[in-house]
């Protein structure tokens, strides 16, 4: 099964074009959707999740028309938005049971077994009687993935799932998503490059509503081979470099800016060639003059 997106376009009131002829083919496995805040990722996710309609375009999940048969899609979908609402005073067990009913699991015994298995899977069994409002950020995210998985979805969408998590919670979340992604389509929407690098075999970069790259992370890195140059500079030098070269990123190392430049030829003046990584791909893709994917 594949999720095939063809020429999705969405313009909001005020003329903001959130999606501009977006086309992607997403196979079973972990698929990273990478882009800065405001790139159009959440609009795309909400459209696939049948929460809003595009102005034009098509989305197919296998043979199922996502935009035409929304109720059927919702039976096959698990969705963890960046912020999700629950009844805060309800216990985790009761809330998950309620969501299971909404997913069509009407047999009480089957529902009980599935809820307990899911609580155990996300390591919340010992907290099942606690109200969700008492949960830490990481626990709420684990509950979020539990409610998204309770209906055995064929398509799972997670939007910025690791934002605000500590490293331990983030690793546990990675492991769970990797396990789930072995058998179903999982779309991981994020602005965190490391999430995509560690989890996804296929990815797309979206910026200003357009697809800037689609393919394997390794292919994305290879496309910049020999074109990334690095140098440690002083802060006054940095501004001068920005006017002369295509600076795609900077970070402080020992108090000095470490500059990455995109150039087909050696910039000279002490720059050294470095192997490109996914951050270089990301930052070069969102440059003002970066081309959209064809």
9-45 pLDDT, tens digit per residue, is: 999 988 889 999 999 999 999 999 998 888 899 899 9
- Over residues 89-98, the mean pLDDT reads 90
Residue 225 to residue 266: CA distance in whole angstroms? 13
- Looking at 166, 193, 216, the residue that finishes a domain is 216
- Over residues 95-118, the mean pLDDT reads 90
Kindly report the number of other CB atoms within 10 A of residue 102's CB atom.
11
Lowest mean pLDDT among 39-48, 75-84, 94-103: 75-84
In DSSP terms, 45 is beta-bridged to: none
| Same domain membership, residue 205 and residue 87 | yes
| Same domain membership, residue 209 and residue 236 | no
Residue 106 has pLDDT above 90, yes or no: no
| Residue 190 · residue 160 · CB < 8 Å | yes
Q: Which residue bears the tokens 């049971």? A: 97
| Same domain membership, residue 148 and residue 84 | yes
| Same domain membership, residue 164 and residue 74 | yes
* Helix H or strand E segment including 171: helix 167-180
Q: Strands (DSSP E) along 12-55, which ranges?
A: 17-26, 29-34
Query: pTM of the prediction?
Result: 0.86
| Same domain membership, residue 170 and residue 137 | yes
Q: pLDDT by residue (tens digit) across 240-265? A: 888 888 999 998 888 888 999 999 99
| Residue 232 · residue 208 · CB < 8 Å | no
Q: Supply the CATH number for residue 112's domain.
A: 3.40.50.300
Kindly report the number of other CB atoms within 10 A of residue 99's CB atom.
18
- Over residues 178-194, the mean pLDDT reads 87
Query: By three-state DSSP, how is residue 68 classified?
Result: coil
| Same domain membership, residue 231 and residue 211 | no
Q: How far apart are the first and last CA of the chain?
A: 24
How many Å is the Cα radius of gyration of the chain? 21
Q: What angle do CA 272, 244, 212 make, to 5 degrees?
A: 80
| Same domain membership, residue 84 and residue 57 | yes
* Helix H or strand E segment including 253: strand 247-253
pLDDT confidence of 96, banded at 50, 70, 90? very high
Give the total residue count for the chain: 294
Residue 216 has pLDDT above 90, yes or no: yes
Lowest mean pLDDT among 14-18, 81-85, 101-105, 138-142: 81-85
| DSSP secondary structure code for residue 125 in this structure | G
Residue 161 has pLDDT above 70, yes or no: yes
Determine the pLDDT at residue 294.
Answer: 39
Determine the pLDDT at residue 175.
Answer: 84
Give the domain range for residue 263.
226-274
> How many structural domains does the chain have?
2
């Amino acid at each position: 099964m594949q999720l095939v997106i063809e020429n999705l376009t969405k313009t909001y009131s005020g003329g903001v074009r959130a999606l501009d002829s977006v086309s992607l083919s997403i196979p079973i496995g972990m698929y990273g959707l990478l882009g800065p805040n405001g790139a159009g990722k959440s609009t795309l996710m909400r459209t696939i999740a049948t929460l809003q309609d595009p102005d034009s375009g098509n989305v197919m999940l296998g043979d199922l028309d996502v935009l035409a048969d929304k109720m059927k899609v919702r039976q096959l979908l698990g969705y963890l938005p960046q912020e999700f609402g629950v009844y805060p005073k309800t216990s985790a067990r009761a809330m998950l049971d309620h969501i299971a009913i909404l997913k069509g699991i009407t047999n009480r015994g089957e529902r009980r077994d599935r809820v307990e298995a899911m609580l155990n899977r996300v390591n919340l069994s010992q907290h099942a009687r606690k109200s969700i409002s008492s949960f830490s950020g990481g626990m709420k995210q684990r509950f979020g993935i539990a409610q998204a998985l309770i209906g055995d979805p064929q398509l799972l969408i997670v939007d910025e799932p690791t934002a605000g998590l500590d490293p331990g919670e983030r690793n546990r979340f990675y492991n769970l998503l990797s396990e789930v992604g072995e058998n179903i389509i999982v779309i991981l929407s994020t602005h965190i490059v490391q999430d995509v690098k560690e989890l996804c075999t296929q990815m797309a970069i979206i910026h200003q509503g357009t697809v800037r790259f689609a393919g394997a992370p390794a292919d994305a890195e290879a496309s910049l081979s020999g074109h990334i140059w690095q140098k440690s500079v002083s802060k006054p030098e940095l501004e001068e470099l920005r006017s002369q070269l295509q600076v795609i990123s900077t970070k402080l190392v020992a108090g000095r800016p470490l500059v990455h430049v995109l150039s087909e030829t050696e910039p000279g003046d002490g720059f050294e060639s470095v192997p490109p990584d996914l951050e270089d791909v990301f930052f070069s893709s969102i440059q003002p003059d970066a081309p959209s994917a064809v």
